[in-house]
Structure 1
Amino acid sequence: MEVRYICPTAYDSSVYLVNGKILIDAGMNSDLIIKQLEKYIKLTDIELIVLTHCHYDHTAAAAAIAEKSGAKIGIHKADLEGINDEYLSVAVIFGERAPEVRPTITYEEGDKIDIGNGEYLEVIHTPGHSKGSICLYEPVSKSLFSGDTVFPGGGFGRMDFEGSEPEKMASSIEKLTKLDVKALYSGHGAPTDRDGNNQIMASYRMLKMMMGE
């Protein structure tokens, strides 16, 4: 699996170009992100944009990228409504209107997304940061695209947004501890290509400590 990491500004989510044709999250600044993508591919090579959740910093550029590439857009069914809502998308925090994103594919737990070369991403539903947050696991390279569920260094996503489900976050992260993860590609910050299992376990321990358990 080939992964290109793109993050044009400090406020954009991390954007990952997988196998030259699948985009995981889209960030906010479409002009800058498209310019970065065109260093590696023709924009029309992008077939699918997978959104890890409905928040504005991950989704705002998706419509422009999809329009110029012809790519389909997918999101978990529990976040489909939130993506166009000012509050559930947290667009108001950025002083913006909810993005005009129209996903055409909805995912559920256990779905497999074909990424070419005989590889696939397994959809893991991890509610907490949002109702429809997902992580994506690629078993051959032992890679996890974790959205804003967990971050390297023991971090995890905020649970104080409209639509967050803090009571579900611990079980979501516990689910991730059962995977064999080497590379961790999170929704913010640079990816790490080793020690993914320990990074996830650190996030789980940190959350349990915060919960007083």
Structure 2
Amino acid sequence: MKPIKIVTPPLAANCYLILDEKSALIDCGGDTKFILNALSRYMEPKDLDYLILTHSHFDHAAAAGDLKELGCKILMHKDEYALVKAQGFTSIFFNVKFKPFKPDFELKGGEIIELGDVVLEVIHTPGHSPGSICLYDENKKWLFSGDTVFAYGAFGRVDLPGGDAKALVKSIEKLSELDVENLYPGHEDVIEGNAKASILEALSIVKMIF
């Protein structure tokens, strides 16, 4: 079964629900009521096993505290947790405060998350934020790219707190080495088929700019 794309308010962030032997939601958006209603179309929200956060920006993670209270385990990169904790769970750029939470697993990169048929490798991809991660299924050739890289050569902004242009270039270089057929980014369109072309295009552009 392919990932289920859920576009969430307030900034149209893409979240992805994977239903396998274990269930996982990749990012949760910023509106708790919305994401719970969306999840309930496919499952009981309280039965969600994992919430994996690609990064801590409020449009991707502000509902995390509420979801954790329902019982899911939260996974996020240790550098990202340090950033959001230091900011008091407030989006400095957008001045939005959200419910504090503590991840159950602080990732470093290289971890393998086995959901069943879907097996995700955690790839640390700083640049858009210090602890941004991507998730890669080598067998299915799926890449969940958060706000690191998008369809059609677009890539994440680096002008938010913790952004780093040089780190973003290195991260996209790392992603360009993967065999990717389907790209599931944090905003806008999904690419199914020949998605590596979008990553290579993004790499070419960021190298010219940065």
TM-score bin (small chain): over 0.9
Amino acid aligned to 1:201? L
What's 2:92 paired with? 92
How far apart, in 2, do the equivalents of 1:63 and 1:90 lie? 13
Once residues 162 and 24 of structure 1 are traced to their aligned partners in structure 2, the CA distance between those partners, rounded to angstroms, is 22
> Do 2:90 and 2:97's aligned partners in 1 also have CA atoms closer than 8 Å?
no
Contact kept, 8 Å, 1:152 with 1:184, in 2: the verdict is yes
- What are the equivalent positions in structure 2 for 1:28-107 lying under 5 Å apart? 28-68=30-70, 70-86=71-87, 91-107=91-107
Structure-1 residue corresponding to 2:129: 130
Identity in percent: 38
Name the residue aligned to 2:206: 207
Separation in 1 of the partners of 2:85 and 2:150?
A: 26
> C-alpha distance in 1, partners of 2:35/2:100?
17
- The one-letter amino acid paired with 1:195 is N
Report the AA paired with residue 206 of structure 2.
Answer: L
Moved over 2 A (4+): 83-87, 92-95
Residue 15 of structure 1 corresponds to 15
Shift of the alpha carbon at 1:44?
2.2
1:112 deviates by 0.4
Distance of 1:111 and 1:22 partners within structure 2: 15
* Residue 90 to residue 156, structure 1, CA distance change in 2 (3 Å): farther
Q: Aligned partners of 2:164 and 2:98: how far apart in 1? A: 20
Q: How many residues align?
A: 208
**For residues 80-100 of structure 1, what are the alpha-carbon distances to aligned partners after superposition, in whole Å with 9 as ceiling and x for unaligned?**
11123438x661333312441
Shift of 1:144: 0.1
Could you tell me which amino acid in structure 1 is paired with residue 76 of structure 2? I
Contact in 1 for aligned 2:16/2:25 (Cα 8 Å): yes
> Does structure 2 conserve the Cα–Cα contact (< 8 Å) formed by 1:84 and 1:99?
no
Which residue identity lines up with residue 84 of structure 1 in the other structure?
Answer: K
Match of 2:148 in 1: 149
The 2-side partners of 1:98 and 1:31 are apart by 14
Unaligned runs of 5+ in 1: none
TM-score normalised per structure 1: 0.91
Residue type at the aligned position of 1:110: G
Root mean square deviation of aligned Cα? 1.7
Which segments of 5 or more consecutive residues in structure 2 lack a partner in the other structure? none
SS of the aligned residue for 2:152 comes to: coil
Cα distance in structure 2, aligned partners of 1:110 and 1:136: 10
Cα gap change, 1:103 to 1:12, in 2 (>3 Å): farther
Question: For residues 208 and 49 of structure 2, what CA distance do their matches in structure 1 show?
Answer: 41
